[in-house]
Amino acid sequence: MALTSDRTTLGLTVGFVAVALLGVFVLPDWLLNQILVAFSRALAVVGLLVLWRTGLVSFGHALYFGLGAYTVALLGRNYGIGEVLVTLPAATLASALVGFLLGFIVRRYREIFFAMLNLAFSMVLFGILVKTEALGSTDGFNVEQPTLLGIGTDDAAVKLTALFLGVCAIGWLTAVLVHRYLGSILGSLTTAVRDNEIRVEYLGYSAAEAIHGKYVMSAALTGLGGGFMAISLGQVDPESMVNWTVSGELVFVTILSGPGSVAAPFIGSLIFELLRTYAFELVPYAWQLIVGGTLLLIIFFLPGGVWSVLSRLAGRRGVEP
């Protein structure tokens, strides 16, 4: 089995390097931009995937997405800090810290109550942001020009490529680490907790603590994703970063991707982004119809999400997914 896990790591590495190379040498800028946004969101979805495997769905992870985004944006506006090696870790840590504190409460809840409690928390943040002028109110504000080790650029194409490579690198690292985590003893306590908390307790481990840990992890990853999204879009506002619709999108992409692999969120996210772009062009008033219809189709006919289709196709050709 150790061999297989190495193979997955290898597969992830090959995949991300291939996307990075394609991006730099082949793909047009508009697609690069789409991948940038998609992978930013995918970081958050990886966090939700860990929760989903544990049997938990949060309708309020926009809380952490927004915390990450606003941490990055506020560091720039209030302190003039655009250094990504400061802003992104800060975004991750801020979300992880809030996740750690709220985790003491949410870990007592399951199913709908877990989902709704998270929704309530996220809407409180939304309400505060909308009504606070100092935090930009409904309009939000711009994000400081990002720099890496103090180096920045005004060339839009160079900046896009740099951000794209950055999201690929962080995406790869996240995927590999989370994959390793899922293969650990603690990682096996995802589906195990979902299946039977009583047995987990009677094997000598606290299900609540296991859930708490995964919650913090998902909060941190969602904060990282939100931080990257803020840098990618160059702007933060409550509607596009913290509202419940953002939580809904994260959950939708999680379901669309499927729980099968840590690579799935990146693929699912990209499909979501492309779908949205084309849907707006082709059928401007049917975006919700498409999202809702897709959700129903997946729940009824494709519970494994897009990943299950890909792995089945790959399996038929005898290729390791």
Partner 1 sequence: MSAILETVGVNKTFGAVTAARDINVSVAKHEIVGIIGANGAGKTTFVNMVTGWLPPSTGRIRFDGRDITGLAPRKITRLGICRSFQVAQVFMTATVFDNLMIALGIADAHGLGVLLPLRVRAREERADAILRRYQMQDYRDQPASTLPQGIRKLLDIAMAMVAQPKVLLLDEPTSGISVEEKFPLMDIVMGALKEEGVTVLFVEHDMEIVSRYVSRVLAFYQGEIICDAPPAEALADPKVKEFVIGDDLHNQTLLQAGALQDGAQEVSDARG
Partner 2 sequence: MNLLLTILVEGLGYASYLFIVSLGLTVIFGVLKILNVAHGAFYAWGAYLCAFLIGEFSTMGVSDLGTMVAIPIAALIVGLILGSAIERTIIKNLYGRDEVLIVLATFGLFLVLEDVILLVFGVDPYFAYQPTYAMPGVQIGGIHQDGYKLSMIVVSLVIGLISWAVLNRTHWGKLVTAIIYDSELAVAMGINVPRVFYTVFVAGAVLGALGGAYIAPTISVAPGFGVEVIVLSFAVVVIGGLGSIPGAAIGALLVGMLRAYAVLQWPEIELFVVYAVMAAVLIFRPEGLFAPAKARKI
Binding test (CB under 8 A) with partner 1, winner from 28, 204, 284, 318? 204
The pair of structure tokens assigned to 93 is 């840590």
Q: Binders of partner 2 among 81-140, rule CB under 8 A?
A: 105, 108-109, 111-113, 115-117, 119-121, 123-128, 130-132
Question: Shortest Cβ distance from residue 197 to partner 2 (Å)?
Answer: 15
The pair of structure tokens assigned to 56 is 């938990």
Taking the C-alpha atoms of residue 173 and residue 133, their distance in angstroms, rounded to an integer, is 37
Give the three-class secondary structure for 207.
helix
Rule CB under 8 A: say whether 6 interacts with partner 1: no
How far from 280 is each of 52, 56, 235, 257, 299, CA to CA, in Å?
29, 31, 21, 21, 24
Taking the C-alpha atoms of residue 38 and residue 19, their distance in angstroms, rounded to an integer, is 13
The nearer residue to partner 1, 26 or 198, going by C-beta atoms, is 198
Taking the C-alpha atoms of residue 33 and residue 39, their distance in angstroms, rounded to an integer, is 10
Taking the C-alpha atoms of residue 183 and residue 1, their distance in angstroms, rounded to an integer, is 10
Rule CB under 8 A: say whether 314 interacts with partner 2: no
Letters for 139-178 (x = contact with partner 2 by CB under 8 A, - = none) are ----------------------------------------
Binding test (CB under 8 A) with partner 2, winner from 85, 169, 289, 314? 289
Taking the C-alpha atoms of residue 232 and residue 42, their distance in angstroms, rounded to an integer, is 13
Taking the C-alpha atoms of residue 116 and residue 175, their distance in angstroms, rounded to an integer, is 28
Q: Binders of partner 1 among 179-198, rule CB under 8 A?
A: 180-181, 183-189, 191-192, 194-196, 198
Strand stretches in 44-153, DSSP E:
141-142
Binding test (CB under 8 A) with partner 2, winner from 57, 72, 90, 170? 57
Backbone phi, then psi, for 109, in 5-degree steps? -115, 155
299 binds, among partner 1, partner 2, none (CB under 5 to 8 A by kind): partner 2
The nearer residue to partner 2, 232 or 240, going by C-beta atoms, is 240
Which residues in this chain contact partner 1 in the complex, by CB under 8 A? Answer: 1-2, 5, 180-181, 183-189, 191-192, 194-196, 198-206
Enumerate binding residues for partner 2 (CB under 8 A). Answer: 56-57, 105, 108-109, 111-113, 115-117, 119-121, 123-128, 130-132, 244, 248, 251, 255, 285-289, 291-296, 299-300
